[in-house]
Structure formats: C-alpha cells, structure tokens
Amino acid sequence: MKESQQLNLEFSPLVEKNFDLAECPRWDWRQQAWCWVNIPAGELWRLKEGKAEARRWDDMLGCAAMWGEEGFVLGTKSGVYLLEDWDAERRQIAPLVKTHPRMRFNDGRAAPGGRFMAGTRNGAKEGDQGQFYQLMAGGKLDKMPMFAWTCNGLAFSPCGSILYWADTGSSVVYCAAYNPETGEYGENRIFCDLTEFEGRPDGACVDSEGAYWVAMYSGKSVVRIGIDGVVTHVIPVPADNPTMVALGGAKGNQLVVTSAESANGPGRVLTAQVDWQGIEEPLVTVL
C-alpha cells in the first residue's frame, strides 16, 4: 500500500482575529468573499475586499450555505433559518426538534441539486445521537439514517453522485450514493478509517480531482484522501484543533482552515496556497 506523504505549507492568518470555535469556511463566489462561522457566539463572518464583518444572533450557529444573490441558509441550535441578504432579519424555515438540550446543528452545506443538508451534535453524549437531515421542499426536514454523537465531514464528489460524511467519535469517514435531482441516497459504507492517524475527522471538502480533505481535530493537521479511500497527504497545521477545511479563492487553489481554541491559544482562520483546485459550492434552491 502506498504511504501518505507529509506536505508542509506556509500558513498565515486569513484575518487577524481570534475565535472560540471557527467553522464552516466557504468561498462565496457570488461576492468574491470568504465566509465562516463562530459557533458559540452565533456569528456569521465575511471577509470581503479586505474588510471583516459579522452578523450575530443569540443562537449557536453551526453552519451556513449560500442562497440567492447574497443570502444564506443557517443551521443553528434552534433550527434552520433563511437570511435573504447580509443585512436582512433571519426567518425560521424549520425548527430543530431536540431530544436533548445540548443537541444543535453542526456541520452542513448545500448539496448538489440545491437541497440544504446538515448534521446535528449532541454534546452531552447521552440519550440520542445526532443525525443528518435534508431540507426538502416546503420546509420539511427529512431525517437521514446517518448517526453520530458529532455528525461531521459532509462533502460531495465533483459530479454530485457521492455523499461523504464523518463520525468524529469513531474516526471513520463514510460514503453513500446520492441523486442530486431527487435527493435520494444509498446505503452507508466505510470510505476511510482514520483511527491510525492523529486527531479525529471534523469538517471537510472535496477538490476537483475528487479527493476528500478533512481537518483532524486535536491532530494539528489536514488529511487528503484519494477517491480510492487511501490517504495521500498529511498537512501539518499550526493549530491544535483544526475544525474544517475549504478550497477556493479567486484562482480556486486557496486553502482555508478554521480551528477551535485550546489550552495553547484561541481558534483562528488560516490560509495557504496549494497545487489543487476546489469545486464551486452550489446554492441552496430548495426551500
């Protein structure tokens, strides 16, 4: 079996700001801006033309996906919301029916075909596990048979026909067939077992070659996995707790890694240049 390579990159701060738990970096190709969330503070951040600004709500914000010309769909502790533009008031699309008070939306994004998909997290690790949901027409949340205490790593192949997700607690990444036209999905199967690597798989993305990139929480690294499920590269990151990875920017080859605070310092948003290209993030069109 081919061994993975260590790839050393020159990281620098995307912004000179500190965060409790930065997550969900996205290249907003509509606005030519980088966006991300700070989960505990309920903040959606945007870096546009060198200016960083945030929207804040009293509601933990786990993820955001693009909608319309400037808007977003938000996955929070209380449910799914629509923000029609940057300055708008959000409105609820669907509540999150909780089985435990610490349940909240965590990792999510727009799926190929325009449906919003997000997984939940039960931080108490007692009672029911989190699971993935898919937002269908009419604001109905379809429960998906993908369960974990912390649902993470949601990403899709460039053609849109393969869905990936990670069970952070077990360090296993799964995949399933996905139909962008109907939103139908197949049975889960193991894509890659990362138990022998340092850290645990958190947020992820896919590059134009179909490889899966995942941030390794408490592992100080990002791992790149080929389409065959074999790790090709391990990328050291100057942060204890990387939380998610994205590829984008004006040329498509800008790597952005978010992180969470640790005993050694706050969470940050870091960036570096790579030799791979990202894929364009789809818009949410089904509400």
Q: Which residues are catalytic?
A: 202
Confirm or deny that 23 is annotated as ligand binding: yes
Confirm or deny that 202 is annotated as ligand binding: yes
Task: State how far the Cα of 210 lies from the Cα of 150, in Å rounded to an integer.
Answer: 24
Q: Return the bridge partners of 66, or none.
A: 72
Q: Confirm if 178 and 112 have CB atoms less than 8 A apart.
A: yes
Whole-Å CA distances, 115 to 65, 125, 142, 279, 286: 10, 28, 11, 17, 5
Q: Confirm if 222 and 241 have CB atoms less than 8 A apart.
A: no
Task: State how far the Cα of 58 lies from the Cα of 61, in Å rounded to an integer.
Answer: 9
Confirm or deny that 264 is annotated as ligand binding: no
Confirm or deny that 152 is annotated as ligand binding: yes
β-pairing, 79-83 with 91-95? antiparallel
Confirm or deny that 115 is annotated as ligand binding: no
DSSP secondary structure string for all residues of 129-187: PEEEEEEETTTEEEEEEEEESBEEEEEE-TTS-EEEEEETTTTEEEEEEB-TTT--B--
3-state helix, strand and coil shares in percent for the chain, rounded to the nearest 5: 0, 55, 45
Binding-site members are: 23, 104, 106, 152, 202
Annotated binding site for substrate: 104, 106
Q: Which residues are annotated as a binding site for a divalent metal cation?
A: 23, 152, 202
